[in-house]
């Protein structure tokens, strides 16, 4: 059941949107140099005013493709390990490195439920736009989201994006109660010489933690069909995470915009040399975080230690970060039809961070210069490179990250457009704060870890329906949580080889979207990954009633090979090495029916359809079974006119 606070929040944002819709906006002349060429199109951009302004516009997704994948984690990571209910902690199984420059706290198991400044969408169409979404399922699973965009003046707009997750879960103490909101605004001058975007974000995640079921055999042998009464390891534990922040980015074009020439064959064209001085930009980013773990009845048999209080656990940590970034680039005025063949950017970031826990407060200041270049020396060749370095700052001085992408287009005409791509990614980063210092009722450590070095070489081929590639990653001083649930650093170099294929097939009304990933780790006692993962979406598409009704029905099929998957420790919100239970080797399948009528999309989903016919071994995390066979229903309703 949605609590009173969630209901009040929902009512508040719906009321705000209703008010926006009633605002009478002054008549506007449609300007195709600023708005999309199609006046009915709904497009958005992200926070790249320092270089794009915004050249890269993305249309909203109005298709039925993957519409049934409604979880925020599934939308972000196709291959992931979850705890069996939407809104809980997760881990990405597709190995990727995270090279964060400067301060990083280091716990990322709930990030998909937060808004980051890179996630906020700024819409750039002249008409109001509203979208409502709702999903419901078994065990009182509910997801609600609403987004609205309203242009208040010719060059000024405001938007709201609100999301709510409330799900009881199949097993005891598995409830999630997550909410987040982003309010954004944008302004551009008529000549586009100056522009600014800003947003305010706030999120709260409150989840009950059960530590997993006590006896896996009760689930696996189907001894108790009523899953809600199966015993769990924790009976009174909760995690509460909060994140809020303010972000602003602005730019100013140093040169005036060139005036349009009047086409007159009788007037000789006057040639003038125009010197362009580029663009300066500034961004301000303030983020505030708090994390709280509580347990009113700590179990001495579950936690490795109890240091402070054996009757109650109340572990909290607070940290905040302020960043001011200044940059200069050669970026020119908005021209979506002619992207710049050459871009050069230089900048510097000043970062201030503060961490407070039960015993101490720590402050950091870092100065981080950076640069970026995009160049196309030949119509068939493109190069994109960027680098950053921590110049000053205790603990973080000497960090660096170098990234380079080279693209060679061997075929440029559709539908055979094909390119070879090569990536080099080098990094040397300080251990996140969480791995170095932590004090709580059950875990205490104070580590002097070395910097982690990452060398990654990638190559892939892109074609219309195919992406084939491989990654070779070498890691030194890799950080992880060991089998004793303590932070550790490997003294051995680790190599991770990954090969992947994304292939689409289409035959008449049928299509298959398939993905394969093969991962091989040299030190399996430190990094645990399934060696083989596969995902298939097999669909049948049909249009009826002269195209008024579009249906897409089919199966989502998921498989990963057996391995000793990481366990989950709620008290530190982290996954750790475990050697007791091997999971995987099963096929998980969902049947779905997606359809849309006008601007409304619907889906009906029968989840885990093989559960009634096979063994009960559906785990992605040990001791956390996935949901059994269940029915889900969702819709999305758009308004823009």
Structural domains of the chain sorted by starting position, each given as residue range(s) with its CATH number in brackets: 4-255+277-640 (2.40.170.20)
Average pLDDT of the residues in 324-352:
85
CB neighbour class for 185 (10 Å; exposed up to 12, middle 13-18, buried from 19): middle
The region of weakest confidence among 88-92, 362-366, 379-383 is 379-383
Contact 412, 433 (CB under 8 A): no
Burial code (b: 16+ CB inside 10 Å, e: under 16) for 228-239 equals eebebbbeebbb
Residue 200 is encoded by which pair of tokens?
């305010």
Mean pLDDT of all residues in 568-588: 97
Q: Where are the extended beta strands (E) located within 451-599?
A: 452-463, 466-476, 479-481, 487-489, 494-507, 510-521, 532-544, 549-560, 567-569, 574-576, 587-597
393-443 per-position pLDDT tens digit = 889 999 999 999 999 998 877 777 899 999 999 999 999 999 999 999 999
The mean of the pLDDT values for the chain is 89
Of 87, 212, 136, 90, the residue nearest 625 (C-alpha): 212
Least confident of 275-284, 338-347, 354-363: 338-347
Q: What is the pTM of this model?
A: 0.89
Give the Cα separation of 511 and 515 in Å (integer). Answer: 13
Cα–Cα distances (Å) from 535 to 69, 136, 558, in that order, read 13, 24, 5
Reported confidence tier of residue 152, pLDDT bands at 50, 70, 90: confident
Cα 434 → chain centroid: 21
Instruction: Give pLDDT, residue 19.
Output: 44
Lowest mean pLDDT segment, chosen from 5-9, 225-229, 279-283, 600-604: 5-9
Check residue 443 and give its pLDDT: 96
Written as one string, the DSSP assignment of 510-537 is EEEEEEEEEEEES-TTT----SEEEEEE
* pLDDT above 70 as % of the chain: 90
Structure-block tokens of residue 80? 């992931």
Per-residue confidence (pLDDT) for residue 379, from 0 to 100: 83
pLDDT band at 625 (very low <50, low <70, confident <90, very high): very high
Segment holding 604, helix H or strand E: strand 600-607
| Nearest Cα to Cα of residue 405 among 465, 326, 458 | 458
- Terminal Cα-to-Cα distance of the chain (whole angstroms): 35
d(CA 501, CA 516): 5
pLDDT of residue 601: 95
Q: How far is CA 611 from the centre of its chain?
A: 30
Asked whether the CA dihedral 63, 409, 506, 469 is positive or negative, the reply is negative
Q: In sequence order, what are the residues at sequence separation of 6 or more whose Cβ sits closer than 8 angstroms to the Cβ of residue 573?
A: 89, 107, 109, 110, 239, 241, 291, 293
Q: Contact at 8 Å (CB) between 17 and 97?
A: no
- Is the pLDDT reported for residue 541 higher than 90? yes
pLDDT value at residue 320: 96
pLDDT band of 355, cuts 50, 70, 90: very high
**Residue 462 and residue 382: Cα distance in Å, rounded?**
14
Residues 169-193 have pLDDT tens digits of: 999 999 999 999 999 999 998 888 8
CB atoms closer than 10 angstroms to residue 260: 7
* Tens of pLDDT, residues 259-295: 654 444 444 455 555 667 899 999 999 999 999 999 9
pLDDT of 301 higher than 70: yes
Identify the pLDDT of residue 9.
47
pLDDT at 117 over 60: yes
Q: What is the DSSP letter of 435?
A: H
* pLDDT (tens digit per residue) in 9-39: 444 444 444 444 444 343 344 455 566 666 6
Give me the pLDDT at residue 280, please: 95
Is the pLDDT at 449 greater than 70? The verdict is yes
Measured distance CA(367)–CA(398) in Å, rounded: 11
pLDDT of residue 54: 57
């Amino acid at each position: 059941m949605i609590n009173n606070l969630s209901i009040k929040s929902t009512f508040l944002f719906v009321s705000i949107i209703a008010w926006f819709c009633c605002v009478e906006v002054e008549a506007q002349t449609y300007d195709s140099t600023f708005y999309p060429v199609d006046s009915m199109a709904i497009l958005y951009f992200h926070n790249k005013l320092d270089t794009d302004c915004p050249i890269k516009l993305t249309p909203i997704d109005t298709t039925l493709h993957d519409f049934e994948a409604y979880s925020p984690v599934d939308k972000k990571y196709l291959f992931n390990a979850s705890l069996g209910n939407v809104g809980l902690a997760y881990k990405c199984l597709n190995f990727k490195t995270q090279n964060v420059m400067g301060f990083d706290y280091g716990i990322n198991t709930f990030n998909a439920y937060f808004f980051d400044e890179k996630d906020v969408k700024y819409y750039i169409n002249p008409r109001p736009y509203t979208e409502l979404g709702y999903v419901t399922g078994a065990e009182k699973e509910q997801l609600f989201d609403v987004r609205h965009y309203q242009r208040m003046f010719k060059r000024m707009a405001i938007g709201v994006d609100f999301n709510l997750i409330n799900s009881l879960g199949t097993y005891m103490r598995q409830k999630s109660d997550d909410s987040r909101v982003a309010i954004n605004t944008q302004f551009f001058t008529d000549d586009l010489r100056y522009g600014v975007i800003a947003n305010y974000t706030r999120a709260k995640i409150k989840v009950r933690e059960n530590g997993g079921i006590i006896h896996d055999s009760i689930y696996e042998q189907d001894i108790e069909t009523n899953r809600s009464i199966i015993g769990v390891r924790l009976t009174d534990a909760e995690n509460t995470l909060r994140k809020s922040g303010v972000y602003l980015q602005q730019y100013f074009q140093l040169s005036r915009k060139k005036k349009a020439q009047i086409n007159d064959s009788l007037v000789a064209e006057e040639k003038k040399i125009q010197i362009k001085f580029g663009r300066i930009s500034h961004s301000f980013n303030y983020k505030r975080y708090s994390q709280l773990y509580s347990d009113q009845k700590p179990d001495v048999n579950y936690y490795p230690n109890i240091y402070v209080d054996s009757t109650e656990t109340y572990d909290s940590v607070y940290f905040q970060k302020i960043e001011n970034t200044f940059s200069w680039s050669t970026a020119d005025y908005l021209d979506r039809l002619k992207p710049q063949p050459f871009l050069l950017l230089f900048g510097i970031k000043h970062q201030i961070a503060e961490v407070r826990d039960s015993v101490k407060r720590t402050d950091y200041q870092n100065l981080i210069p950076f640069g970026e270049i995009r160049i196309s020396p030949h119509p068939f060749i493109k190069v994109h490179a960027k680098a950053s370095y921590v110049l000053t700052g205790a603990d973080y001085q000497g960090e660096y990250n170098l990234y380079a992408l080279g693209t060679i287009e061997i075929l440029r005409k559709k539908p055979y457009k094909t390119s070879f791509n090569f990536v080099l990614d080098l990094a040397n980063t300080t251990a996140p704060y969480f791995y170095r210092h932590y004090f709580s009722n059950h875990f205490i450590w104070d580590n002097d870890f070395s910097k982690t070095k990452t060398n990654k070489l990638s190559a892939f081929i892109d074609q219309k329906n195919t992406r084939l590639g491989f990654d070779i990653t070498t890691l030194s001083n890799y950080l992880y949580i060991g089998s004793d649930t303590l932070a550790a650093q490997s003294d051995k170099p680790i190599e991770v080889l990954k090969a992947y294929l994304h292939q689409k097939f289409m035959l008449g009304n049928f299509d298959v979207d398939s993905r394969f990933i093969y991962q091989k780790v040299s030190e399996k006692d430190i990094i645990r990954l399934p060696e083989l993962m596969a995902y298939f979406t097999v669909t049948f598409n049909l249009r009826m009633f002269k195209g008024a009704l579009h249906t897409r029905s089919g199966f989502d099929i998921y498989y990963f090979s057996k391995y000793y998957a990481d366990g989950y420790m709620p008290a530190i919100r982290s996954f750790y090495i475990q050697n007791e239970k091997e999971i995987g080797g099963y096929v998980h399948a969902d049947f779905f029916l997606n359809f849309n009528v006008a601007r409304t999309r619907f889906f009906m989903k029968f989840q885990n359809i093989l559960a009634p016919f096979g063994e009960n071994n559906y785990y992605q995390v040990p001791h956390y079974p996935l949901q059994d066979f269940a029915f889900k229903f969702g819709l999305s309703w758009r308004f823009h006119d």
